[in-house]
């Protein structure tokens, strides 16, 4: 692997990292959104946390 020696190399790396982060965030939101269909009664997650997750997913989907 080559050493990163130029600003262009660093900017390219940063752009790729941002892309990976965006994709990761989208996957997490999708996972949480799909999980929202699971019955709260069947969940072992405390109700307050489920509410926070629901609110965070709703905010990201808007």
Of residues 9 and 1, which shows the higher confidence score?
9
Sign of CA dihedral 17, 58, 50, 43: negative
pLDDT at residue 41, rounded to an integer: 55
Q: 3-state SS string over 17-56?
A: HHHHHHHHHHHHHHHHHHHCCCCCCCCCCCHHHHHHHHHH
pLDDT at residue 40, rounded to an integer: 54
pLDDT at residue 28, rounded to an integer: 80
pLDDT in tens, 12-46: 889 999 988 888 888 887 777 666 655 555 566 66
Cβ pair 61, 30 in contact under 8 A: no
């Amino acid at each position: 692997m080559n050493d990163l020696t130029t600003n262009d190399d660093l900017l390219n790396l940063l752009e790729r990292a941002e892309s990976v982060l965006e994709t990761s965030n989208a996957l997490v939101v999708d996972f949480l959104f799909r999980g929202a269909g699971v019955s709260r009664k069947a969940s072992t997650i405390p109700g307050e946390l489920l509410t926070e997750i629901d609110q965070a997913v709703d905010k990201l989907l808007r």
